[in-house]
Structure 1
Amino acid sequence: MTAPSGDAGASGRPRHVAIITDGNGRWAQSRGLPVAEGHRAGADVVRARLRDAVELGVEELTVFSFSTENWSRPEHEVRALMAMFSERIDRETPELVEEGARMRFIGRREGVDPRLVEKMAWAEEQTAGGDAITFYVAFNYGGRAEILDAAAKYDGGGEDAFRSLLYAPDMTDPDLLIRTSGEQRISNYLLWQCAYSEIVFAPELWPEFDRAAFERCLDAYGTRQRRFGGREA
């Protein structure tokens, strides 16, 4: 069995932080803006917190950008999101290369516009040499879907064999899971990987989640005692 990435006892800084970037739509609606503007503001915050993560010593960052359930949203919102993803990949991939960030997409690629899938593969190829941080983008992702997809190929061998069939087998288990907007649920996110993650629910809507809020969550993680089913000495 592959051990969780953290150690029991004083936790310090997390190696891997996963974030549910919730609240873009509510942020836009509270300001009388189209929902698409909330997603754009949220994408700007993702870039800013990625840079912060590098400076703060985080080695892996995973963000939930589009779930398998998000296809049920209004068609115009989904179209706007797909257009924004495509434009962001074009614009930000060269920046990620320059900053040493390796980008990986996790999720199902079936059903996604083939042109967008090509851009995702291009971005992964361009950033493959990055060693400052690994940036996982959960796109068309669902935790149950990932487990089902792995189970369909699994023919035994234990947890390590099963893990090798997940979307990103080299991903370490998140030490810390953050959800913004005050909601307190994990919404089908990294169900296998977050089995022992510490969880912090932040009150800020995602476009309001600044560096100070991020550091507050990291500091909260540092106060936790991680035992992974054991007993505190």
Structure 2
Amino acid sequence: MSGAVRHAPGERPPSGPVPRHLGIVPDGNRRWARQRGVPAREGYQRGADRTVEVVRWCEEAGVGTVTIWALSQDNAAKRQELPVMVEGITALMGGLTAAGAWDVNVLGSPEHLDALGPAGLSGRSRRAAVGASGDGYGCGDRLRVNLAVAYDGREEIVAAALAVLAESGADGLDSAAIGRRLERWGQPDCDLILRTSGEQRLSGFLLWQSLTAELHFSPEQWPDFDRAAFDAMLASFADRERRFGA
């Protein structure tokens, strides 16, 4: 189950299997800011900085794909704090692309992305990445990073089914075809999903890909999710006897 081993010189990669596809729900940026009496903007900025660090740790560990849920479709439509959240997402995109070593893609509703309008997001939507090749994991030694913005897991399944119908007709529509389409979009089946801040639900994240995924719920607010918490997550995954949904 482990991906290609990629770790920094002098650092020991974790022992045991590593998730090839890690999904992350980085909860707790606003709560982190509220607990410290600072503006929500600072919480989202700290969260963006932490996300770039976590992606780097994923690369060192040998993870092939990381999907980060930055904004749900529901929140894109109604949340009053949306401008501040979009600032944080834009900062996150800048941090991810500045690294220059990762294949970064934005997943989500193109219509909602266009409405959000931050530079560098709407033009990198999933529809623009349909031609992605390979098995859905990182390309060669490059980590694939999916940033899920204005994302809804149900809508993703509908979009994949419509794409299969357009390409192959009704006779070609089955679960295997939908799975292959999602892989072409860089969304293979997920091995592990992390959610922080003590929340214990998926909320529609990676609905199709999470069928056989392991779940890890961490109590830290996202800006406080440090290397020790990350290593504990990987150790927990490595120690599990995976039953793949059975």
TM-score range, shorter chain: 0.7 to 0.9
Q: How many residues align?
A: 216
Alignment of structure 1 residues 40-55 onto 2, 5 Å: 40-55=45-60
Matched residues in 2 for 1:201 and 1:146: separation?
24
**Aligned-pair RMSD on alpha carbons?**
2.8
Cα gap change, 1:33 to 1:219, in 2 (>3 Å): same
Matched residues in 1 for 2:124 and 2:160: separation?
24
> Which residues of structure 1 form unaligned runs of 5+?
none
SS in 1 for 2:69: strand
Does the Cα contact within 8 Å between 1:102 and 1:130 map onto a contact in 2? no
| 1:55 Cα offset (Å) | 1.0
Alignment of structure 1 residues 86-165 onto 2, 5 Å: 86-90=90-94, 92-93=96-97, 95-97=98-100, 100-113=101-114, 116=117, 119-120=120-121, 121=123, 131-153=141-163, 154=165, 155=170, 156-165=172-181
The farther-off stretch of 104-113 and 133-142 is 104-113
Does the Cα contact within 8 Å between 1:25 and 1:38 map onto a contact in 2? yes
Matched residues in 2 for 1:129 and 1:150: separation?
22
> Which residues of structure 2 form unaligned runs of 5+?
3-14, 130-137
Identical aligned pairs, as a percentage? 36
The farther-off stretch of 79-88 and 18-27 is 79-88
Does the Cα contact within 8 Å between 2:52 and 2:92 map onto a contact in 1? no
1:39 to 37, 41, 44: 44
2:79 to 73, 80, 91: 73
Is structure 2 residue 14 aligned with structure 1 residue 13?
A: no
| 1:51 Cα offset (Å) | 0.8
Does the Cα contact within 8 Å between 1:20 and 1:63 map onto a contact in 2? yes
TM-score, length basis structure 1? 0.81
Is structure 2 residue 238 aligned with structure 1 residue 222?
A: yes
TM-score, length basis structure 2? 0.77
Cα gap change, 1:179 to 1:88, in 2 (>3 Å): closer
Code of the aligned partner of 1:61: V
